[in-house]
A and B are shown apart, each in its own frame.
Chain A
Amino acid sequence: DAKTTQPNSMESNEEEPVHLPCNHSTISGTDYIHWYRQLPSQGPEYVIHGLTSNVNNRMASLAIAEDRKSSTLILHRATLRDAAVYYCILSHFLNRDDKIIFGKGTRLHILP
């Protein structure tokens, strides 16, 4: 399984953009990049995913490096509610039997 590397924790000020990095140097050409987050005392929730092109949705943007060895989750304007653990995950887009393996993620602290 391809692995991801994320910083253990990050801090950001409220109402400022947040850039959460993820390294996946062993990614294959057919791996999707997924981001989930887990708010305190809750189950994880889907944030965004992509394959090659940058992706935007109502929650965030996903910027994927041209060589796909890294990606960045962008929260455009952080709120206190965005304080959570953010997980970057890879899955093989052709293999419906693939496992979804979570790492330890990045704990994001939002400062008021």
Chain B
Amino acid sequence: NAGVTQTPKFQVLKTGQSMTLQCAQDMNHEYMSWYRQDPGMGLRLIHYSVGAGITDQGEVPNGYNVSRSTTEDFPLRLLSAAPSQTSVYFCASNPAGPNTEAFFGQGTRLTVV
């Protein structure tokens, strides 16, 4: 049982480049979310989804897009990377909404130069 899988684990981008951080879960969870964590800080919510076809903004959505075409996948897109987006990104899934246990991936460490 793989749980929540994030790829890649590490990535270096140049300013202005675009990329997609992948997140997949094999637990048939309805609720998925993306967070970023800057050094010495807590996690900040970027976007979340309560089910396939439904997404919504979190605390810090600017500069990021998401889609949820399937239950399993919740990719996070950076359209034009900026140094301020240098961070560790975590994807999480919950079986049935935020009141159920969240399972987190191992994170993607992104550096924008």
Contacts and interface: CB of A to CB of B under 8 A. Distances in A.
Contacts of A104: 41-42
Give the interface SS of chain A, mostly helix, strand, loop or mixed: loop
A45 B104 contact: yes
Contacts, number: 66
B102 A100 contact: yes
Interface stretch (B65-73, B78-86, B93-101): B93-101
B99 A101 contact: no
B58 interface: yes
Given A36-B102, A91-B99, A98-B98, A44 B43 contact: yes
Contacts of A96: 30-31, 50, 96-99
B48 to A, nearest CB: 6
Given A36-B102, A102-B35, A102-B44, A44 B90 contact: yes
A49 interface: yes
A95 B7 CA distance: 30
B25 interface: no
Interface string A38-57: 00001111100100000000
Nearest to A101: B45
Interface of A: 32, 34, 36, 42-46, 49, 85, 87, 91-93, 95-105
B26 interface: no
A49 B99 CA distance: 8
Given A43-B106, A43-B107, A87-B43, 8 more contacts: A44-B43, A93-B99, A96-B31, A97-B97, A99-B48, A100-B98, A102-B44, A105-B42
Contacts of A98: 97-99
Contacts of B107: 42-43
A42 B102 contact: no
Given A96-B31, A97-B56, A46 B101 contact: yes
A95 B48 CA distance: 14
